Amino acid sequence: MEVLILIVFVLGYIAITLEHSTRIDKLIPALIMMVLCWTVVSLGIDHFEHWFNPVGGLVSNFMEFSHESKMNLFEEAMLHHFGKTAEILIFLMGAMAIVEMIDHFQGFETIKKIISTKSKRKLLWIISALAFILSAIIDNLTTTIVLITVLRKLIDDRNARMWYIGMVIIAANAGGAWTPIGDVTTTMLWMANKVSSLKLIEHVLLPSLANVFVPVIIASFLPVFKGNIEQEHQEFEKPPYGRFMLVLGLLLIVFVPIFKTVTHLPPYAGMMLSLGIFAIVGEVLSQRSIKLTNRVEENTSLHEGPTMKALSKIEIPSILFFLGILMAVAAMESVGMIYFFGQSVNSAIPQNLFLSILGISSAIIDNVPLVAAGIGMFQDAPDAQVWHFIAYAAGTGGSILIIGSAAGVVAMGMEKIPFFWYLKNISLLALLGYLAGVGVILVLQ
């Protein structure tokens, strides 16, 4: 039965990777894969030799349990995994809504006013620094979209712009790896209580900085970043409340880890509080009446406010994709497949080598299932070195190929960056940065 689950997962994952060829959104095979994996577990529950309890670990003498007892364990495991997955998804939806509301007030337009240089080399450092800092607070996908929009207004030459965007991808992925709110994978580790906010920053910040500095320093000496920008800077209209909403939104997102530390409530609770506060401020600034009934002022609809507009723009396909992937991996974890694979790997090759390879493989394989598998594979204590290594490797390894991260994929779509152009010009820089970060981790260990 384990082989059948593995076949379902592999076929589903192949369908996901062929999304652009088949024209079938990746959420569809992810959802089908999830249901089929759990179906095999349910129908074949009496044929599995092992069971991995998400709370208590490997269950002893599972084969001797009655069918009813096995089904009780099955229901408990499925409910537990769905609850933990729902926590992650609700957290992400709250963060997405806040980002969309900032965009509604044109808060990201403020970033354009920060860039006042005509030097290509200085622009490289400024853009990379912005990508690194922003993605530590908002996700690397949104950061990449915002900075591509800025670069389009600053640089007319498409070839030169692609070089800058390549560096944005590296910096955005590195920036998201060292905070619990900077990337989906670090959020997963944080919400699974594998890492704490301060320890994650303490152990991953320096490797992430190395991941950015090495490529940027090398790129500074390349011909494409020499000289000045020929295009005249455009005057950007200052949006009302834009700067205020940008600062407030970012502060409220940063407030979430602090709220969790103080109250010990799950992170999604803090994110919902931040979203509620931000929504109130947004509605007030939009000069709309806040009513507890369905009665509204003439010519005004509740669905015209920034809150409803932001909620309507949340990427539900991405949310459902994460649901499918995480629950499919949970099915394999429940029957002990991931646990025993981890044991085999640990006995075969050094752990640091395996984690380094895992990071490089995230350039081809989506890092979400890799981290989900890693959570079930290793049984180390919270804030152990393995979790910080996974956070770094999965978060930054995807920069090596343009299809290896959400930031790369969105850049590929927005600017039509060819796969082989990125492979020829950016991949080596990203790989050197990744290896530099790995070196820093090994030195810190």
- Gap between the Cα atoms of 131 and 115, Å rounded: 13
Q: What Cα–Cα distance (Å) separates residue 315 from each residue in 92, 109, 334?
A: 10, 22, 29
Give the mean pLDDT of the chain: 83
**Both structure tokens of 42:** 């349910």
- Gap between the Cα atoms of 263 and 188, Å rounded: 19
Residues 244-263: tens digit of each pLDDT:
888 898 899 888 888 888 88
Q: Region 45-55: what's the mean pLDDT? A: 82
Q: Which residues pair with 53 in a beta bridge?
A: 57
pLDDT of residue 175: 92
The answer to whether residue 292 scores a pLDDT higher than 50 is no
Query: What contacts 401, CB < 8 A, 6 or more positions away?
Result: 363, 364, 408, 419, 422, 423, 427
pLDDT of residue 289: 43
- Gap between the Cα atoms of 61 and 130, Å rounded: 54
Over pLDDT 90: what percentage of the chain?
Answer: 22
pLDDT of residue 238: 65
Q: Region 16-45: what's the mean pLDDT? A: 85
**Where is average pLDDT lowest: 156-160, 249-253, 289-293, 369-373?**
289-293
- Gap between the Cα atoms of 394 and 360, Å rounded: 8
Q: Region 57-84: what's the mean pLDDT? A: 86
Instruction: Check: CB of residue 441 under 8 Å from CB of residue 389.
Output: yes
Residues 73-116: tens digit of each pLDDT:
899 889 988 988 888 888 878 888 888 888 888 887 777 777 77
pLDDT of residue 192: 83
pTM score = 0.76
